[in-house]
Amino acid sequence: MNAAYEFVTGPLAWFAWGIFILGAAWRLYSMYQLAKKKDASSWAFMDLGFSLRSIVNWLIPFNALGWRKSPVMTVATFAFHICLILVPVFLVAHVVLWTEFFGISYATLPDSVADAMTLVVLAACLIFAGRRLTQKEVAYITTGKDWLALVIVTLPFLTGFLAYHQIFDYQVMIIAHIVAGEIMLAAIPFTRLSHMVFAAFTRAYMGSEFGGVRHARDW
């Protein structure tokens, strides 16, 4: 068990983070090259001011028409994404690991809060899954890739929660959790989750086109 733990927190962790960071960087770089080469007449319109204008307006819940038209999803997705980022970054158990390996330590979330936020993420995942099953306009366009992304995201939270509450065998669960977390990291550059890398740019591009060419807002 210990050896397995050593492995997943050691070499495998390095590997997962490596794929995540290098993969994301490579995807961004090659997309940039492609855009310069093949989308010159779009790239030329990228504008920092209009990009930020669009991004900021979309970061405000219920500000964009898209958010107002789907309130349940708006609440779910904002809660989901906020917790999704905050929990793993500021979880005591995670920060302890950073301290142990690299001597880094910083502010943490109280465990009870993190626990609740984990439940929020899991609840949001349930809502996402429910929409994909029951809402016809979502079901119609759902593909395997979308389920895969959802499962990859759900697993670390589910296993982390189970490990924390010592449900089932802790030793097994914590290793499962770590593997699930590493799978997620490694999957980000190469699955639907790559929207983490690209969404800011697609939004920025639309914002630039609407601001600079069409003189209209895009939210």
Partner 1 sequence: MHPPTLWNWEPGQRVILSSMKAPEASAWVEEPYASPDGESLAALTTLTEGGCTALVNGEPWENTFEKGWHLRFSPDGRLTAVVQQDGMWTLAVDGEAWEESYDYLWGTQFSTEGDVIAACIQNGGEYGLCLEGTPWETLFENANQPTLSADGQSSAAVVQLASLKPADLDGFAAGVFGVAVDGQAWDANFLNVWTPTFDPAGKRVAAQVRTTLYDYSIAVDGQKWANDYGCVWEPRFNPASGSVVAPVRVAGAWGLAQDDQIIWEPKFAQCWQQVISQDGKNIAAIVAPQFGTFTVAVNGKPWGITLPVVTDLVIGRQGEVVAALGNTDNRDWRIMVDGKFWDGSWDMAWQPVISANGGHVAVKVEKAGRQTLVVNGRVYPREFTKVWEPTFSPDGTKMLIRALDKDAFLRIVAEVGRA
Partner 2 sequence: MGITERLIEDVGIRRGVSRLTPEKIEKIVNAVLKGETGARLKTYAETCMRCGLCAEACHFALSHPDDPSYTPAGKVHQTMSVLLDKKGRVDPDFVYGMAQLAYTECNLCRRCVHLCPIGIDTAYIMSTVRRICHKLGVTPQYMQDTAHSHASTFNQMWVKDDEWTDSLIWQEDEAREEFPGLRIPLDKEGSDIYYSVIAPEPKFRTQLIYQAAAIMHMAGVDWTMPASTGWDNSDMCMFSGDFEMMGRLKRQHFESAQKLKVKRIVMGECGHAFRSVYDTGNRWLGWRHHPVPVIHAVEFYWELIQEGRIKLAKKFPGPVTIQDPCNIVRGRGLQEKLREVTRFLVDGDIIEMHPNREHNFCCAAGGGVINCGPPFKNVRVDGNTVKAEQLRATGVKTVITPCHNCHGGLHDIIHHHKLGMDLKFLSDIIYECMEKPEA
Residues that bind partner 2 (CB under 8 A): 31-32, 34-35, 37-39, 41-42, 44-45, 54, 58, 64-67, 69-70, 73, 77, 131, 135-143, 146, 149, 192, 194-195, 198-199, 201-207, 209-210, 213-219
At its nearest, how many Å lie between ligand HEM and the CB of residue 160? Answer: 3
At its nearest, how many Å lie between partner 1 and the CB of residue 48? Answer: 17
Beta bridge partners of 109: 91
Output phi, psi for 111, to 5 deg.
-55, -40
Q: Which of residues 2, 3, 41, 102 is near partner 1 by CB under 8 A? A: 41
Q: Which is nearer to ligand HEM, 41 or 183 (CB)?
A: 183
Output phi, psi for 169, to 5 deg.
-75, 115
Degrees (nearest 5) of the Cα angle 100, 184, 161?
A: 65
Rounded to whole angstroms, the Cα distance separating 95 from 109 reads: 10
CB-CB contact of 157 with 116 (8 Å):
no
- Interface mask (CB under 8 A) for partner 1, residues 44-63, using x and -? x-------------------
At its nearest, how many Å lie between partner 2 and the CB of residue 200? Answer: 9
Rounded to whole angstroms, the Cα distance separating 56 from 61 reads: 10
> Binding to partner 1 by residue 34, rule CB under 8 A?
no
Q: Which is nearer to ligand HEM, 41 or 143 (CB)?
A: 143
Decide: helix, strand or coil at residue 10: coil
At its nearest, how many Å lie between partner 2 and the CB of residue 57? Answer: 11
Decide: helix, strand or coil at residue 141: coil
